[in-house]
Amino acid sequence: MLNIDHLRKQAKLYLRWHRERYYPVAARIRAVLPRYSRLTDCEILAQSFRLSDAQELVARTVGFESWDALRRGSHFVTHTRTGTLVMSILTAAEPQLFVRDIAAASEFYSRKLGFSVAFIYGEPPFYAQVFRDGARLNFRQVDGTVLDAIRRATEQLLAATITLEDAKPLFVEYQQAGVEFVQSLKSEPWGARTFVVRDPDGNLLLFAGRGE
């Protein structure tokens, strides 16, 4: 469980990473703090970033609007002095996809699937993140095949599931973009409408929306 002391240390770590120009922290700042949402990694790292900013970053990550709100609502986390326990809040999930080429993968997801690049990290690049609305996918460059390609195809081993209100408009958009479908749009027995896309590295993405 989370505790106040841990959150303070996390804020100080974010502050140190910003001062050291650690690029992945720029993507986290941009995703969580609205005033940084339109800035590039370089612009974020060049901005003034104080401990209060880092504390706000931590607070928003665990579901509070501000550090003060977190402290006033500290009964929602484990406090080292009181020992009060409650359930932690999960705010997001970011599936990691294995790709052969970071630049090529980023280009496909941008040009074909309508995602934007949050960051590309490394020289040469070996890690990246793309996003579209609330969906975020991380790329990890690897040499060779991680999963058996035949088994992945025959058993439809999914790399990620992405949910949305209505899958049909996005399916039509991807049809027009020439995206490869492993499964066309269909109604599932449990009421959802889904389709499955395959990226150039063989990763299977399931898109699921409400039924008709």
The domain spans of the chain are 4-76, 96-141, 149-209
**CATH for 149-209, among 3.30.499.10, 3.30.720.110, 1.10.3470.10, 3.30.530.20?**
3.30.720.110
Kind and range of the H or E element at 44?
Answer: helix 41-46
- For 127-156, what is the mean pLDDT? 85
Q: Which of 52-61, 124-133, 170-179 holds the top average pLDDT? A: 170-179
pLDDT of res. 90: 60
Query: What phi and psi, each to the nearest 5 degrees, are found at residue 124?
Result: -70, 165
Confidence of residue 134 (pLDDT cuts 50, 70, 90): confident
Please check whether the two domains, 96-141 and 149-209, share a CATH topology: no
CATH 3.50.50.60 describes domain 96-141? no
DSSP letter at 21 equals T
Could you give the CA distance from residue 104 to residue 117 in angstroms, rounded to a whole number? 12
| Residue pair 187/181 in contact by the 8 Å Cβ criterion | no
Confidence of residue 9 (pLDDT cuts 50, 70, 90): confident
Inter-residue contact 114 to 108 (CB < 8 Å): no
pLDDT in tens, 52-97: 999 999 888 877 888 988 887 754 544 444 444 444 556 677 899 9
* pLDDT confidence bin for 147, thresholds 50/70/90: confident
Q: Which two tokens stand for residue 32?
A: 């969580």
